[in-house]
Structures are given as C-alpha cells and as structure tokens.
Amino acid sequence: MTIQARVVELEQQHHALEKKLAETLKHKSADDLEIIELKRQKLHLKDEIERLQHDIAGGNQSQAS
C-alpha cells in the first residue's frame, strides 16, 4: 500500500469516527468514557495522517506496510 493510499484510508476512518462521535454526543445518556475514547482515537488518526502527509511532502514515497 502506498503512503497516499494509507492516508486516504486513515481519512475515511477519521471521518467515520467523527460521525460516530457526533451521534454519541446527541444522546444525553452518552458515556463520558466512550466520548473520551472516540476523541482519543480521532486524534491518533489525525496525528498519523499529518505524519504521513509530512513524509509525502518530504519526498519519502516508500511503500508503507
């Protein structure tokens, strides 16, 4: 898988988490721990996306496993 393909995959996962978080926040009975975990996962994905985009911008076009 190329780095760019991995970025696209991570962006899709980030978007799905964003939707899930928004749905969870709509409910008054939302579990705070679930919200925290979703936000943590979303941040982790964002950090990974930014790291990979930095690699692409730096000319590191090697294959990601």
Which tens digit of pLDDT belongs to each residue from 5-60? 999 999 999 999 999 999 999 988 889 999 999 999 999 999 999 999 998 898 76
pLDDT at 65 over 70: no
Neighbours of 27 (CB within 10 A): 8
Q: For position 28, what pLDDT does the model report?
A: 85
62: DSSP letter: P
Quote the pTM value: 0.80
